[in-house]
Amino acid sequence: MTEGQVVEAVGGLYRVRTASGTVEASLRGRLKRGGRTGDKVVIGDFVTVGRGSGDSPVIEAVGQRRTHLARRPSWSRVARVVAANLDRLMVVVSVQDPPASRAAIDRMLVMGESGGMACRLVLNKVDLPGSAVSVAEITRSYHAAGYRVLPTSAVTGAGIDAFRAEIETGSSALAGPSGAGKSSLLNRIEPGLDLRTRPVGRRSRAGRHTTVSSRLIALSGGGQVADTPGFSDVGLGDVAARELARCFPEMRPFLGRCHFKDCSHVHEPGCEVVAAVSDGRVQEDRYRSYQAILEEL
């Protein structure tokens, strides 16, 4: 038996990086039974590889996941785990062209928080004229919510050193709307890196999906980046309604202090979260995002 980490998944095949090199393995039959096969093994998973019929490599077991990244397209009700054991989610938005949507930012942050990852907000295109006020406002708002904000420009190189320091440590995934500059930022630190940033299309009329691989790419300066298509048209991940408030870091100090144990933090009397919103300890914009997301769950 050999231990390793899955670095690419396409169809029913998985490339596993081990201490002695990379092997291509399939999934042991018993692991395929029950549930969606695509969730059983994903990039970032630590697995045990043995030998199957014909001495071909097969994945015998999957280790417990420290973190996970689940994707649910905005047009679907079903979330699917697409990566595991990543350290952070980098939410990349542009200040202008297209302008950042606070609602979209909050949804992507919830996606990362629900999977146990550290989250960062990257504000790209800060070089565009007239962006200074928006950069200051968004930075102030999300700093107050407990997030590190990285203003960057893939054009001028502003903020690239701070972005590099994050991305070259541990493992990361990038999420953000189309046109935010995810690929451009990565190419500033790793020239020639070709990530797929277009959203995954819906099922065709014939009921087929194009087969696309997911990869965990090692950067030359250190760190790994998950290349997982489909994170520009993003709904929520697999967060449950009862756990949503914990996905808002600024609300956590007030949880467990409400009058009702099962408080939804919306309409109940004696709610500490609502009180924190009233006196400015929790921002109204963020609280409205919480309410909007809760209605979907």
CA 105 – CA 108 distance, rounded (Å): 5
Give yes or no: residues 7 and 50 share one domain: yes
Q: Among 84, 91, 45, 89, which Cα is nearest to 68's? A: 84
Half-sphere exposure for 183 (CA within 13 Å, toward CB): 14
Q: Is the pLDDT assigned to residue 231 strictly greater than 70? A: no
pLDDT in tens, 237-270: 789 999 999 999 999 999 999 999 999 999 999 9
Confidence label for 208 from pLDDT (cuts 50, 70 and 90): very low
Q: Which of 62, 79, 105 is the last residue of a domain?
A: 62
Find the angle CA(171)-CA(173)-CA(176) to the nearest 5 degrees.
Answer: 155
| pLDDT for res 199 | 40
Burial classification of residue 223, based on how many CB atoms lie within 10 Å of its CB (0-12 exposed, 13-18 middle, 19 or more buried): buried
Q: Mean pLDDT throughout 108-112?
A: 94
Q: Is residue 54 part of a domain?
A: yes
Neighbours of 244 (CB within 10 A): 22
Give yes or no: residues 105 and 139 share one domain: yes
If one compares 229 and 159, the residue with the highest pLDDT of the two is 159
| pLDDT for res 198 | 42
198 with 229: CB under 8 angstroms?
yes
Domain that holds residue 39: 2-62
Q: Mean pLDDT throughout 30-38?
A: 62
Q: Is the pLDDT assigned to residue 38 strictly greater than 50? A: yes
Q: Is residue 37 part of a domain?
A: yes
Q: Is the pLDDT assigned to residue 55 strictly greater than 70? A: yes
| pLDDT for res 74 | 64
Q: Mean pLDDT throughout 1-21?
A: 93
Give the position of tokens 């965990």.
216
Q: Is the pLDDT assigned to residue 90 strictly greater than 80? A: yes
| pLDDT for res 297 | 85
Percentages of the chain per state (helix, strand, coil), in multiples of 5? 30, 25, 45
Q: Is the pLDDT assigned to residue 196 strictly greater than 80? A: no
Give yes or no: residues 171 and 214 share one domain: yes
Give φ, ψ of 83 to 5 degrees: -155, 155
Q: Among 40, 70, 44, which Cα is nearest to 58's? A: 40
Q: Is the pLDDT assigned to residue 210 strictly greater than 90? A: no
Q: Coil, strand or helix: which one is 172?
A: strand
Q: Is the pLDDT assigned to residue 39 strictly greater than 80? A: no
pLDDT in tens, 111-136: 999 999 999 999 999 999 999 999 99
| pLDDT for res 200 | 37
Q: What CATH number does the domain containing 6 carry?
A: 2.40.50.140
Q: Which of 227, 256, 282 is the last residue of a domain?
A: 227
Long-range pairs for 5-8 at CB < 8 Å and ≥24 separation? 5/44, 5/45, 5/46, 5/47, 5/85, 5/216, 6/41, 6/42, 6/43, 6/44, 6/45, 6/46, 6/47, 6/216, 7/43, 7/215, 7/216, 7/217, 7/218, 8/43, 8/213, 8/214, 8/215, 8/216
Could you tell me what percent of the chain has a pLDDT over 70?
A: 88
